[in-house]
């Protein structure tokens, strides 16, 4: 029997040798707010206790991380990520923290991180909650400690949200101030919002909108005054009742609270901007559209730049356009201005036989020129999302009391000025690009065959659409020089104007070759509306 056992001994399963416990360790310290770091000296206390713990255990401290104030509700902290990267690359035995809530307050996510660390031989050890997580009982107690840290953080958040609701109901704003406002702290530590120079320019934007100036024109004027704002953001501003003294917030769904902060505009102007009459339910639009004056707001006074309005001389049943600016005295009959406008459109008429060939060439030109810009738009949009996420995290830290209002305003203002505003300006410059280039190009060419006749027979809405398609920046009128376009026409129609004249001079009717670097192609990013 003994011989039999000896003969088969080599076939027995061999056990794995127990892993060699490393004595190297790293220390991680953290506080939630700068006040803890400055006043309570919590970082020094944590560091001292962690070093004493390492000395008692016989560990060699090879690196230290943290030493700053970071929120532990998430695990995207810069120092925390550097710590995890280090222990995965180096042979380290354990991470020493003063308490488990210093490591993380993310609950299940923190438990998962600790489990991954154990798989690579790195233990998480707490000075004030000592336990051996390599045993099942020790792992259970450590997971309970991490879960309680998450629970405590959620309790604090619930209290903070309750306080925010009560503050909102008292008419005080919470969180990041709306565009045009900034926070000012008084001696009693209460926060008041004040109107900034940008806010005063937004007040003027509301007045322009109430006078029926198009949003695109308002964006252009604001940018000329140094306010970089996107078209979609301007719409959001116009829809926010905060500017007329009413608070609305996602924490108080369906409620409108009178604000204690200074108002930018009156409630009457706000309702006029949003086309709502007092006493009527929202959703009913006030329309002052008159088919006889389709160029209203599209044609501007050549002297002062104000958009022309329309009126009727009822005794003669005749319609006129005029500038309402005092002293301009620009007044022209609708019939005469329409005739001039049809002549302006005729400059972009195109012979029918050039539609097909030029459509293909236009598509090739714009595809080539917009390729690089499309990549830039993607990069800028990604940058905008990252900046907005950073601001959201900063606001959440302020709400949870991890940073003061002064810190929130300091760092938030810096981020908005140095990162958000330049990114928004670049996004505005790049525009939305041309979608479906071949289809848009051929469609524009087909329209260009008989632009003036098409405009003369179209309905009011189609006239407006065609006007904005060809001349997105509108037109101007003076008594001396008559009607003229302002700014560049749409890029496609700008090309058509040059191609049309070249095609007409080509006796054989052959398509004109478009060089990829043609001087006819202006700056990119203007899409037919």
Q: Which helix (H) or strand (E) holds 25?
A: strand 24-31
Q: Which residue is listed with tokens 């925010």? A: 164
Strand partners, 64: 27
Q: How many other CB atoms sit within 10 Å of the CB of residue 141?
A: 16
HSE-up of 496 (CA within 13 Å, CB side)?
Answer: 32
Two structure tokens written together for 302: 């050549």
The dihedrals phi and psi of 289, each to the nearest 5 degrees, come to -75, 135
Given a cut of 50, the residues of the chain with pLDDT beneath it are: 17-18, 20, 35, 37-40, 72, 75, 188-189, 277-287, 432-435, 507-529
Question: Do the Cβ atoms of 529 and 435 come closer than 8 Å?
Answer: no
CA distances from 140 to 130, 148, 459 (A): 13, 12, 74
Query: Of 449, 431, 458, which Cα lies nearest the Cα of 496?
Result: 449
Stretch (H or E) spanning 478: strand 475-478
Predicted pLDDT of residue 334: 92
pTM: 0.38
Q: 10 Å Cβ neighbour count for 5?
A: 9
CB 468 within 8 A of CB 398: no
Backbone angles phi, psi at 466, to 5 degrees: -70, -40
> What SS3 class is residue 113?
helix
Q: Order across the sheet with 309-313: list the strands.
A: 309-313, 318-322, 331-333
Contact 477, 308 (CB under 8 A): yes
Pairing verdict, β 318-322 and 309-313? antiparallel
pLDDT tens-digit series, residues 136-164: 777 777 777 777 776 676 777 777 777 77
Nearest to 475 by CA among 369, 353, 344: 344
What is residue 257's predicted lDDT score, i.e. its pLDDT? 85
Distance CA 99, CA 42 (A): 12
- Centre a 10 Å sphere on the Cβ of residue 296 and count the other Cβ atoms it contains: 20
Query: Is the separation of the CB atoms in 333 and 314 below 8 Å?
Result: no
Q: Could you give the 3-state DSSP secondary structure of residue 495?
A: helix
CB atoms within 10 A of CB 39: 9
Residue 317 region by backbone torsions, left for phi larger than 0, else alpha for psi between -120 and 50, else beta: left
The two structure tokens encoding residue 513: 């070759």
pLDDT value of residue 338: 92
- Tell me the sheet residues that pair with 30: 68
- Let me know: does 370 contact 437? Beta carbons within 8 Å: yes
- What are the tens digits of pLDDT across the range 162-206? 777 888 888 888 878 889 888 876 554 456 788 888 888 999 999
Residues 6+ apart with CB under 8 A from 346: 451, 452
Degrees to nearest 5, angle at CA 450 with 448 and 451 = 65
| Letter string b/e over residues 169-184, b meaning 16 or more CB atoms within 10 A of that residue's CB | eeebbbebbbbbbbbe
DSSP characters for 65-88? EEEEE--SSSS--HHHHHHHHHHH
Integer Cα distance of 97 and 503 in angstroms: 78
pLDDT at site 351: 67
The radius of gyration of the chain's CA atoms, rounded to the nearest angstrom, is 34
pLDDT at 249: 82
pLDDT at position 130: 83
The DSSP element (H or E) to which 483 belongs, if any, is: strand 482-485
The pairing of strands 60-69 and 24-31 is parallel
CB 247 within 8 A of CB 171: yes
At residue 390, the pLDDT reads 86
Place of tokens 């006040």: 35
Q: Which residue has the tokens 């390599």?
A: 134
- In sequence order, the 6+-apart residues with CB closer than 8 A to the CB of 218 are 205, 208, 209, 234
Q: In angstroms, what CA-CA distances link 295 with 291, 318, 331, 335, 489? A: 9, 15, 13, 11, 16
Q: Are residues 229 and 201 in contact, defined by beta-carbon separation less than 8 angstroms?
A: no
């Amino acid at each position: 029997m003994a011989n039999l056992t000896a003969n088969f001994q080599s076939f027995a399963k061999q056990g794995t040798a127990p892993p060699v416990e490393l004595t190297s360790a790293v220390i991680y310290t953290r506080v939630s707010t700068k006040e803890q770091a400055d006043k309570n000296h919590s970082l020094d206390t944590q560091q001292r206790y962690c070093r004493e713990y390492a000395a008692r255990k016989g560990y060699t401290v090879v690196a230290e991380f943290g030493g700053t104030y970071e929120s532990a509700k998430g695990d995207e902290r810069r120092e925390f990520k550097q710590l995890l990267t280090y222990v995965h690359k180096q042979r380290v035995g354990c991470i020493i923290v003063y308490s488990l809530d210093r490591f993380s307050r993310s609950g299940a996510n923190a438990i998962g991180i600790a489990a991954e660390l154990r798989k690579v031989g790195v233990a998480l050890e707490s000075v004030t909650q000592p336990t051996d997580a390599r045993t099942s009982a020790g792992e259970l107690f450590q997971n309970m400690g991490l879960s309680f840290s998450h629970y405590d953080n959620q309790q604090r958040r619930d209290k903070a949200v309750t306080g925010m609701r009560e503050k909102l109901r008292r008419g005080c704003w919470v969180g990041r101030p709306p565009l045009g406002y900034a926070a000012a702290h008084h001696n009693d530590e209460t926060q008041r919002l004040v109107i900034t120079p940008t806010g005063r320019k937004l007040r003027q934007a509301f007045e322009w909108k109430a006078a029926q100036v198009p949003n695109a024109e308002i964006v252009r004027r604001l940018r000329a005054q140094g306010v970089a704002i996107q078209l979609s953001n301007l719409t959001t501003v116009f829809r926010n009742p905060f500017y007329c003294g009413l608070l609305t917030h996602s924490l108080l769904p369906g409620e409108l609270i009178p604000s204690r902060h200074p108002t930018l505009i009156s409630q009457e102007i706000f309702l006029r901007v949003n086309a709502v009459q007092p006493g009527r339910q929202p959703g009913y639009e006030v329309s002052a559209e008159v088919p006889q004056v389709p160029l209203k707001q599209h044609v501007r006074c050549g002297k002062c730049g104000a958009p022309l309005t329309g009126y009727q001389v009822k005794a003669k049943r005749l319609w006129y356009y005029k500038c309402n600016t005092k002293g301009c005295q620009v007044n022209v009959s609708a019939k005469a201005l329409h005739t001039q406008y049809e002549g302006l459109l005729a400059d972009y008429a195109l012979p029918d036989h050039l539609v097909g060939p030029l459509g293909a060439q236009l598509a090739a030109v714009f595809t080539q020129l917009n390729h690089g810009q499309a990549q830039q738009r993607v990069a800028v949009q990604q940058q905008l999302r990252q900046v907005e996420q950073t601001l959201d995290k900063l606001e959440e830290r302020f709400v949870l009391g991890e940073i003061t209002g002064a810190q929130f305003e300091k760092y938030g203002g810096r981020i908005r000025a140095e990162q958000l505003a330049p990114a928004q300006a670049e996004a505005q410059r790049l525009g939305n690009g041309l979608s479906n280039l071949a289809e848009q190009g051929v469609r524009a060419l087909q329209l260009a065959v008989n632009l003036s006749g098409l405009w003369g027979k179209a309905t009011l809405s189609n006239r407006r659409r065609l006007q904005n398609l060809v001349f997105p920046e509108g037109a101007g009128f003076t008594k001396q020089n008559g009607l003229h376009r302002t700014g560049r026409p749409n890029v496609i129609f700008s090309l058509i104007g040059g191609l049309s004249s070249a095609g007409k001079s080509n006796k054989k009717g052959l398509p004109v070759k478009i060089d990829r670097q043609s001087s006819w192609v202006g700056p990119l990013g203007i899409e037919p509306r």
